Every structure is written in C-alpha cells, then in structure tokens.
Amino acid sequence: MAAISGGKTYHHGDLRNALIGAAVDLACEGGPERVVLREAARRVGVSPTAAYRHFEGRCELLAAVRDHARRALADSMERAAARVPGADDPALAAEARLAAVCRGYVAFAVEQPGLYRSAFGAPRTAPGDGDHGAEGGTAEVRAFTLLTDALGAVAATARPPRASRPAADAAAWSAVHGLSLLLLEGPLRRLPAQRRDDVVDSTLAMVVSGTRNP
Amino acid sequence: MAAISGGKTYHHGDLRNALIGAAVDLACEGGPERVVLREAARRVGVSPTAAYRHFEGRCELLAAVRDHARRALADSMERAAARVPGADDPALAAEARLAAVCRGYVAFAVEQPGLYRSAFGAPRTAPGDGDHGAEGGTAEVRAFTLLTDALGAVAATARPPRASRPAADAAAWSAVHGLSLLLLEGPLRRLPAQRRDDVVDSTLAMVVSGTRNP
DNA sequence: CCCGGAATGTTCATGCGGTCAACATCGGGC
DNA sequence: GCCCGATGTTGACCGCATGAACATTCCGGG
C-alpha cells in the first residue's frame, strides 16, 4: 500500500510526492534558490539522501516544482478569466478576456512570488549543463496557450481582420512576464500599490493596443 | 604605490578592482549564480578570504558586478541609438531612436546573457534579508532613463500631444525586459535567429504602437 | 632612521548543501 | 518461509560563505 498510514514506518509510502510538496512550500517561501534537497528531506522527516531514490538530484526536484508552479499560474489565469462577465460585443468580450488573463498572470506573480519565479528559467545549477529535460518549444506551457488563445480571439474580432500575427503572442507574453519580474525583483518592486495598478493598466493597454492596431 | 608592480608582493595593490574584474568575468561566463567569492579570489591568485577586506561578503561583490552590468547595458543602448541615421520628420526620428534603444537593450541581453542577468534582481542570497544597499526608486538605472527619454520624445511628437503617460515607461520597459528574459532563459530560448528577429520586431511594434495610441 | 599601529592577506575552523558508496530494512513474489 | 529488489540510512568528500586569530607590510610620527 502507498497510502498515508499513521505510524511512521521505515518506508514512507509516498516519499516522492511528499518531497515535491515540501519543495513547493520552500519555493513559496523563498523562490527556487530556496529549494534545497536536505531541507525538503528534513521537513518530510527523512534522511538527507533519501531523495535520491526518487530524483536524479536537486535539478529534477526543481523541475517538479516548476511544473507545479506552471500549473498554478495557468489556474490563476483561468480563474481570472472566468470571473469576467460576458459582453454583447464579441470584440469587447475578447478584449476583456485578454485583459483578465493578463491580470491573472500578474496577480499570480505578485501573490506567489516564490512560486512564480520557480515557474520559468532554464534549469541552471551546474555551470555547463544544458537542460536535458523535456521542454520542446514554446508549447506545453498552458499559461502561454491561454494567452495566445485570448490574443487570437481579440485579433479575430479586429475591424480589419488581422491576417498574420507573426509573433505578437510572444510580444504580449514579454510584456506580462517583464512586468511581473520588474514588480517582483526589479526596480518596480516596493512600488506603492496604487502606482502599481497604474503600471499594470498601462502595460495591458499597450498589449491590447498592440493587438488591435497594425 | 597602488600600481601594477610585476613581482607578486604580499599586498596585492588593487585587490578590490581585481576581484570585481574576476567577478565580472564569472558573471559573463555563467550569470550571477556563478559569481563565487572563492573562485574570484582564486583567479586573482589570492587566498579565499582575502575578499572580506574589501567586501562585506558575496552580496556586495555581486552588487559591484550589478553596477558594472547596468553601465554596460546602458552603453549598449547608447551605441545602438547613436547608429541610427537622422530623419527629417521629428516624429519618425523619435520612433527610430526608441526602436534603436530597445534593440540595444535586447541585443545586450542576447549577447551578454550572464552579465544581463546580473544587472537586475534584488540581492537575494540569504532567505530573510531585504536589501540594505541603496537602490532608491526606479531611478539610477541609466538604462531606464534612456528608455524613458526616448519614449518621451515619441510621445511629444504624437499627433494629439499626449498629456499624461501615467506609467507607459514601465510598460515599455516591461516589454523589453520580459522579451529579453524569455529569449534568454524562458521558453523562447533556442529560437532560430530569424524567428527571434520576428519576435523582437513584434514587440517593438507593440511598444511603439502603445506609445502612439491612447 | 626606526617603531608601532593600521591595512591587507593568510590559516584554521564551523556549518550548510549536493552527491556518492556501502549498509540496513521492508514488502512481496516464488 | 525465503530471497531479491525497492526504499531509507549512515558516513564521507568536496565546494562555498563566513568568522577568528595570526602574519606581513606600509606609513606616519618621533
């Protein structure tokens, strides 16, 4: 059995998930650099090296955290989008949804800084190790899919139907991602909440405007 | 004397700068996380703890690297701006300069990834230490000033002269910063060079468009 | 010209983290 | 009921940040 038996046995039963949980907590508390094998093991009440039975090493644990963080980010975006009331004008509705999705993105970054910072970034621990994990192209990041779809919907309703948006998706993503990081660890951190809203609004305006106009 | 005497004396003569130099090299090679006191000391040919006579600790060394990186970034932007030919139409000239400044920004990030990544980010080493160093507001980052000025020039030549750009500067900065990071360590890394240019163009178009339109 | 303190480096020691190898224990399949 | 493989544990090694005590050098009085 792999259940949660009360008494602590020699074998944990679900160490892998327990470690991931602890690692996620660590990431929430202090970002990816805080995710430390020994500490995660300590929290689970297991010896420092037990993790190696379930992960290649720290990198792989971080990768698990990263996946969790990406899922959580996408969830935040979907929740934000779900809250926007429908509109009659499809164009307006599309724009509202785009804005909501973006807000959900930034909101997650601001509310879960540690987790957000763990969501991206190549596995960069050893100096000369490319990432051997998966991560094919830009896909597989649901957050990106959500953004792209919302963007596509706006473009589809544009007055002169836009034909090619060569890389407009990436541009929009750049904006929200950059904004998030500037707010989190960049020079925009420690910005009074109200000014922060201004900045967010400005950026979203830029994104929407850039989507609507050629 | 504090010069570069040939024979190695007990006293180095200019250890501080030598260490900064080594640290900058390290940052170039592997980003901020590669900046390690012991390695820098090793490269300079000095004992591991000698650095403590010149820096509080690793954080302060990193701060020195960060300042260097920011200067280099701003230089890259200025160089890029200096290369754009003048135009007759002041509005077009302003837009061209804005684009050039942004390109200089992204170019630096792509050409000097390690250094670029060292240029921002709060000094985050110990879990619970806010940064005690300076870093007042958003100022003092010459790169930001360059961007803001270029942006202001575009806004000034806009057909309906824009009155308030509440935080449009930050929006533009978000775009270039986010783009840089996505290209560097985000899902846009390992993008073929040509597609990369598309993405850059798209983003700049969004920035300019957002500046021109309400 | 000589001396003593202040700078600047060095050595030694502590503690944390990643990772490996050898050993212990448990859980099932035969 | 026994044996093997999966899962944990101990112990050890190495690199790094950092602090304390000691060594060397420089420089400004006297």
User: For chain B, which domains are there?
Assistant: 66-212 (1.10.357.10)
Which nucleotide does the CA of B45 lie closest to, via C1'? C9
Confidence of residue B33 (pLDDT cuts 50, 70, 90): very high
Residue B158, pLDDT score: 76
Q: Given a cut of 60, is residue B55 above it in pLDDT?
A: yes
Note whether B127 contacts A29, CB cutoff 8 Å.
yes
Interface test with B, best of A66, A162, A174 (most B CBs within 10 A): A174
Amino acid sitting at position B149: D
Least CB–CB distance from B122: residue in A175, A180, A185: A185
Contact status, residue B22 vs residue B14, Cβ threshold 8 Å: no
Q: Given a cut of 80, is residue A28 above it in pLDDT?
A: yes
B41: CB partners within 8 A, 6+ apart: B19, B22, B47, B48, B49, B50, B51
A170: exposed, middle or buried (Cβ count in 10 Å: 0-12, 13-18, 19+):
buried
Reduced to 3 states (helix: H, G, I; strand: E, B; else coil), residue A69 is: helix
> Which range is least confidently modeled, A29-33, B28-32, B128-132, B147-151?
B128-132
In whole angstroms, C4 C1' to B188 CA is: 63
Residue A166, pLDDT score: 59
Which nucleotide does the CA of B46 lie closest to, via C1'? C9
Least CB–CB distance from B182: residue in A165, A174, A203: A174
Residue A151 Cα distances to A142, A145, A172, B80, angstroms: 14, 10, 8, 31
Predicted confidence (pLDDT) per residue in B58-91, tens digit: 999 999 999 999 999 999 999 999 999 988 999 9
Question: A67 or B141: which carries more pLDDT confidence?
Answer: A67
Predicted confidence (pLDDT) per residue in A142-156, tens digit: 999 999 999 989 888
Reduced to 3 states (helix: H, G, I; strand: E, B; else coil), residue A154 is: helix
Residue B9, pLDDT score: 80
Closest CA to A118 of A155, A152, A150, A71: A71
Residue B140, pLDDT score: 66
Closest CA to B150 of B100, B105, B209: B100
Question: A160 or A212: which carries more pLDDT confidence?
Answer: A212
